[in-house]
A = this chain, B = another copy of it.
């Protein structure tokens, strides 16, 4: 028995943006994915556990973060609609993750388990290509973030974040944005004050 089609439609549509898939391929994919509702603050990955899923976000928003030795959270990435989130390192190595992935809004996701994704890679070689392109795009994004981190002030990074992710910026509390930028919430508050007085 296949899951209700309409709930799975977004991920199929997502794949089609990269490469067309046949009906048979749709069916195969649908037979290997699961739809879930996630509550705000619910975690779909915890430090110390292996990351078993690639998670596609149909609706809602997640943060992925590490916790340092003083207990402070550091946001490595956000992901919202039509995006993926996973600890890719842990997922492939099957080693415990050092990260948490947590819903910052009530969310609706589609998950693929590791064995299922590997099965799909073997039976639909196109998916290798699709995920290659997905990861390449994410790599470029990260690379720009690194450049910003090593070359810009916190103010420039914040302005850039607002421009690059206007939707995220309005959905997320500033505390979370500060953590993503690598500054304290107090300092972000000061930056916002300085900017507004321009």
Would you call A138 an interface residue if the criterion is a C-beta within 8 Å of the partner chain's C-beta atoms?
Answer: yes
Q: Give the residue name and chain of the B residue nearest to A183 (CB).
A: B150
Instruction: Number of A interface residues at 8 Å Cβ cutoff, please give it.
Output: 34
Q: In the complex, identify which listed stretch (A22-30, A139-147, A161-169, A189-197) lies at the interface while the others stay far away.
A: A139-147
Question: Is A76 engaged at the interface, CB distance under 8 Å to the other chain?
Answer: yes
Complex CA gap A151/B75 in Å reads: 9
Contacts of A132 in B (CB 8 A): 128-129, 131-132, 135
| Copies of this chain, whole number | 2
- Determine if A136 is an interface residue (Cβ-Cβ < 8 Å): yes
A140 → B minimal CB distance (Å)? 4
CB-CB under 8 A from A135, the residues of chain B are 132, 135-136, 139
Q: Would A68 and B143 count as touching, CB distance under 8 A?
A: no
For the complex, is A96 an interface residue (Cβ under 8 Å from B)?
Answer: no
Q: Evaluate contact between A149 and B151: CB separation under 8 angstroms.
A: no
Say how far A64's CB is from chain B's closest CB, in angstroms.
Answer: 9
Docked pose: A75 CA to B151 CA in angstroms = 9
A139 touches B142 (CB 8 A): yes
- Provide the residues of chain B in CB contact with A68, threshold 8 Å: 151
Q: Is A61 engaged at the interface, CB distance under 8 Å to the other chain? A: no
How far in angstroms is the closest Cβ of chain B from A71? 12
* B88 and A149 contact, CB distance less than 8 A: no
Residues of B near A10 (CB, < 8 A) are none
**Closest CB-CB distance, A181 to chain B, in whole Å?**
7
A136 touches B88 (CB 8 A): yes
- What are 6 residue pairs bridging A and B, where the CB atoms are less than 8 Å apart in the complex? A68-B151, A74-B150, A76-B143, A76-B146, A88-B140, A150-B180
